[in-house]
Amino acid sequence: MSNYIFPFLWMRGESEQTIRNEIAKISECGIKAVCVEARPHPEFCGDGWWHDLDIVIDEAKKRDMKIWILDDKHFPTGYANGLIETKYPERKKQYIQCTTADIFGSRHKLTLHVGRMLKPTIGFWEIGNPVNEEERAKNSLLAMIAVRFDEGNRFHEEVIDLTDTYDGQYAVFDLPQGQ
């Protein structure tokens, strides 16, 4: 029999009997696998977590069930329950972000507030929180280019590198006529 359902087994530090009962109920439904969800466990990667995982493994073996384990405390994976950021900050994940701004006209010097466009690393769980200015200050600009639209709203092949016009907050630049 093929198994296509892998329900989450939410680990929150429940009693041994509760964990065993949950796996028994899943198995009684004909489901032969569980996905262990780590995030809510109060001792993720600690002694309590490993104790509870031993119980899950024991019950799954008795019932010939497969176990999938979500491998991190937060999405996206790579967080390693905070270990990387704490012990190896130089190995912390880095992101490249592309931000665009439509600029019309080119008769006068143009000023673009680029500093506001550098976003802090933020997860979906932090939406609505104030901007973390300390985190934003760690970001850096890799490049700033201007590309004009060609006929049919396609980008022209020629690019103008404006990176040197950025002073840490603003970019002040001129663009050729018509671009």
Residue 163 in any domain: the answer is yes
Residue 179 in any domain: the answer is no
What's the pLDDT tens digit per position in 76-128?
A: 666 677 777 788 888 777 777 788 888 776 667 888 888 877 766 556 666 67
What's the pLDDT tens digit per position in 137-156?
A: 777 888 999 888 777 778 88
- Domain tally, the chain: 2
Q: How many angstroms from the chain centroid is the CA of residue 140?
A: 19
Angle ∠(158,98,83) on CA atoms, nearest 5: 145
Instruction: Provide the residue range defining the domain that includes 72.
Output: 1-92
Residue after which a domain boundary falls, among 63, 92, 121: 92
Asked if residue 127 and residue 87 are part of one domain, the reply reads: no
Q: Quick check: pTM over 0.75? A: no
Asked if residue 107 and residue 34 are part of one domain, the reply reads: no
Token pair for 16:
């041994």
What's the pLDDT tens digit per position in 43-77?
A: 888 899 999 999 999 999 999 999 998 766 666 66
Residue 62 in any domain: the answer is yes
Q: Is pLDDT above 60 for 179? A: no
